[in-house]
Structure 1
Amino acid sequence: MALVYGDVTIVVDEQDDLFYTRMALQAHRPEEGRIIVQPTPASGSPAALAHDMLYALGKRLAPGPNSPDIWLDSVKKAWLAAAAWTVATGVRHVVVTRAHLLTVRRIDQLFAWREVAGVQLTLLWQKALRGLPLVLARVERRISSRDKFEALLAEPGPIPACPSFPPAVLATTGRAAVGAGQPPARPPRGAQPTSPGRRAHPCTGAMATAQLSQPAPAINLASDGTAALATLAHPLIAGALSVLAFTRAGLGGLRLTRDLDITGDVSAIKLHGVGHRNCPLYTVPAWARPLLAGARAHHRLVAHPPGNSVFAPLMLAEARHLRAHGERLPQLNLRQPGSLLAP
């Protein structure tokens, strides 16, 4: 049988029947909005469950005692990264196996993450129901058969109840929401298109700039480079390195990039030059769009205004981790010229 609290479902498998685990693992389809999380047994790391969530999302933490991902040992930062990737990739349903092994503290972390990510959560409780902690005893929905469990896994899942993000702002037209599918604004009367990559008004956002300027084409990146970037665990690291890779801009060009400098469909990004003397617009290649979407989701989940720099937290406190990742990924070819990763 199973129980559900809001969008949380607990499947109680007192006999630890292999059927439930097998069915869950077969239902892991990230491209369809469902992931299966398998908690690492007996891990003492406070952020272990968040790391397991990131692993299920296809992300891999760099190994080693001096790992550039050591900042994700922080519980808050690790769960924020997991929430950002969940929102950015459109995951709707998360199934956690062997939930009876989780401590109450980790269950609380999981519930807090679900509130932020806005997904349907299913927990496999694979022992006697009498061991159910109080926080899970409040769950009410029940599933009483294998057939109903299979039906639950067959459902596409709800559209995620994503947080209410602040709308981005177009500096030239006042306050306006920037979202995928929104029709572009008409260019001002008399405006002339500019050549690819040429700067428009230094303070306009990407949507406004795109009405006057064709974005510069992205630099091609080999498939091993794009694959390596896709597995980076922290959204800001993945987003920043992807921009550096397809633009060959330096950190200075990325430092002032705001939420409103990324178009709603993540098809173009605007960087800023010193004194806004050169603020080029670039095409975002298809492989990089999920990574930039993750960086923007991370920015919005901490309620930064759209005029704030998306990558400011990375530049101010964690630039050494960015450089360390760049150095461990030689296929990105970011070490030449070395100024790309200079502070």
Structure 2
Amino acid sequence: MAVGIGDVILVVDERDDVSHTRTALQAHCPAEGRITVQPTPASGAPATLAHDVLYALGKRLAPGPDSPDVWMDSLDTAWLAAAAWSATIGVRDAVVIRAHLLTARRLDQLLTWQDKAGLRLTLLWQASPRRIPLRLNRIERPADGLGHLTALLAEPASLPSHPHPHPHLYPPRSAPTAAAETDASVPDPDGQHPHPRSSRPPSTPRVRAHCPGATAAAQRVRPTAAFGVSPETAAALAVLAHPLLAGALTVLALTRSTAVGLRSVRDIDINGDISAVRTHGPGHRQCSLHTVPTWARPLLAGARTHHRLTGGHVEDSLFDPVMAAEARHLRAHAQRLLEQARASPERA
């Protein structure tokens, strides 16, 4: 059965056959664009299912009521992070086991996430079909549910060679030219921008660009080498759940930039293949272009995807939202990473 991206499949396993669950769990392989989500049973926390999706994506939350990940209690924030990482990693298939235990509200959350991330969602309904809610009645059901799950294992991976946000997330943008990047805050002659101004979050300031972004800058100067980051620190950054926090801390680790420099980093300061990032000094003096190592590219890609999911423009500050609303969480994560770096020798 041919199923395109963006579809939802309902697999009914009325007898709760262990082979269905086993095959669904075997399908989990984020590196090949497939994840299997195991919902936490009997949890009333609003964002629990979003946490379960993030866990399947390889992200981990710091435990405890005073942890820097307390922001994850926010339902919208958690699901936005899940959508951003799903698109960045390149997830094309997601299987949710024991979907019959989910409330109607959480089923709606899953469907919203599936639509925003542009993936194919398979719900494993391990109960009587008579209990299927109306919202799922119109979803296509494969005649051979086990055959559908097994087919997921046989499908070859078709992921990009470097992380890119999924094209389903937003309309394609034309690449800014060097002239346009020279002052990205000036509108085009017809007064138009790639996206309407009204879609920009009011809390995100537009940074006046007195120097070009990463792509244009790379045509004139060679990027400087990134600072060495220990494998332990890189691993800790890779599992941070908030894309903007992960991206901001990665830029700080690679460039040793100041808070002013981090706030000035724009969407266009990360080049197309995420191999370079540009940081800015006060008054755009001493701006620098830095290489981005392979391990860090998915983290900056996640930050940019998150930015665009919220309607951000290419000339907007990329990390300003976390430096304002989530500043204490940014500092808390930075302190944890600093302690880990002190505990292990830094390596290039």
TM-score w.r.t. the length of structure 1 is 0.85
Letter in 2 for 1:331: Q
1:174-323 to structure 2, matched below 5 A, reads: 174=180, 202-323=210-331
3-state DSSP of counterpart to 1:270: strand
3-state DSSP of counterpart to 1:174: helix
Shift of 1:30: 0.6
Shift of 1:145: 5.0
Partner deviation per Cα, 1:253-307 (whole Å, 9 max, x = no partner): 1101000000010000001110111111100111110000000000011111110
Instruction: Determine if contact 2:267/2:317 at 8 Å carries over to the other structure.
Output: yes
Partner deviation per Cα, 1:107-154 (whole Å, 9 max, x = no partner): 001111111100000010001110001111111242325334312442
Q: Distance between the aligned counterparts of 2:25 and 2:249, measured in 1?
A: 32
Q: Distance between the aligned counterparts of 1:32 and 1:169, measured in 2?
A: 29
Letter in 2 for 1:70: V
Shift of 1:331: 2.5
Shift of 1:332: 3.9
3-state DSSP of counterpart to 2:178: coil
Q: What's 1:188 paired with?
A: none
3-state DSSP of counterpart to 2:144: coil
Letter in 2 for 1:326: A
Q: Distance between the aligned counterparts of 2:304 and 2:341, measured in 1?
A: 22
Shift of 1:326: 1.0
Q: What's 1:162 paired with?
A: 168
Instruction: Determine if contact 1:5/1:140 at 8 Å carries over to the other structure.
Output: no
Shift of 1:99: 0.4
Q: Distance between the aligned counterparts of 1:96 and 1:292, measured in 2?
A: 28
Gaps of 5+ in 2: 160-165, 182-208, 344-348
Alignment partner for residue 172 of structure 1, among 156, 178, 187?
178
Shift of 1:249: 1.4
Distance 1:326 1:145, change over 3 A: closer
Shift of 1:170: 3.1
3-state DSSP of counterpart to 1:36: strand
Q: What's 2:340 paired with?
A: 331
Aligned-pair Cα RMSD in Å: 2.2
Instruction: Determine if contact 1:92/1:157 at 8 Å carries over to the other structure.
Output: no
Instruction: Determine if contact 1:165/1:300 at 8 Å carries over to the other structure.
Output: no
Letter in 1 for 2:10: I
Letter in 1 for 2:323: M
Shift of 1:4: 11
Q: What's 1:67 paired with?
A: 67
Q: Distance between the aligned counterparts of 1:258 and 1:145, measured in 2?
A: 46
Shift of 1:165: 4.3
Q: Distance between the aligned counterparts of 1:24 and 1:39, measured in 2?
A: 13
Shift of 1:158: 8.1
Partner deviation per Cα, 1:74-119 (whole Å, 9 max, x = no partner): 1110000000001111111011011001000000011111111000
Q: Distance between the aligned counterparts of 1:85 and 1:48, measured in 2?
A: 17
Instruction: Determine if contact 1:218/1:284 at 8 Å carries over to the other structure.
Output: yes
Task: Work out the number of aligned pairs and report it.
Answer: 307
Q: Distance between the aligned counterparts of 2:6 and 2:66, measured in 1?
A: 41
Distance 1:44 1:150, change over 3 A: same
Q: Distance between the aligned counterparts of 1:165 and 1:252, measured in 2?
A: 31
Which stretch of the first structure deviates more once superposed, 239-248 or 324-333?
324-333
Shift of 1:315: 1.1
Match status 1:92 vs 2:97: no
Which stretch of the first structure deviates more once superposed, 282-291 or 154-163?
154-163
TM-score w.r.t. the length of structure 2 is 0.83
Q: What's 1:179 paired with?
A: none
Shift of 1:172: 2.8
Distance 1:6 1:162, change over 3 A: closer
Aligned sequence identity (%): 58
Shift of 1:168: 6.5
Letter in 2 for 1:232: L
Q: Distance between the aligned counterparts of 2:283 and 2:315, measured in 1?
A: 17
Distance 1:5 1:34, change over 3 A: closer
Instruction: Determine if contact 2:7/2:120 at 8 Å carries over to the other structure.
Output: yes
Q: What's 1:195 paired with?
A: none
3-state DSSP of counterpart to 2:124: strand
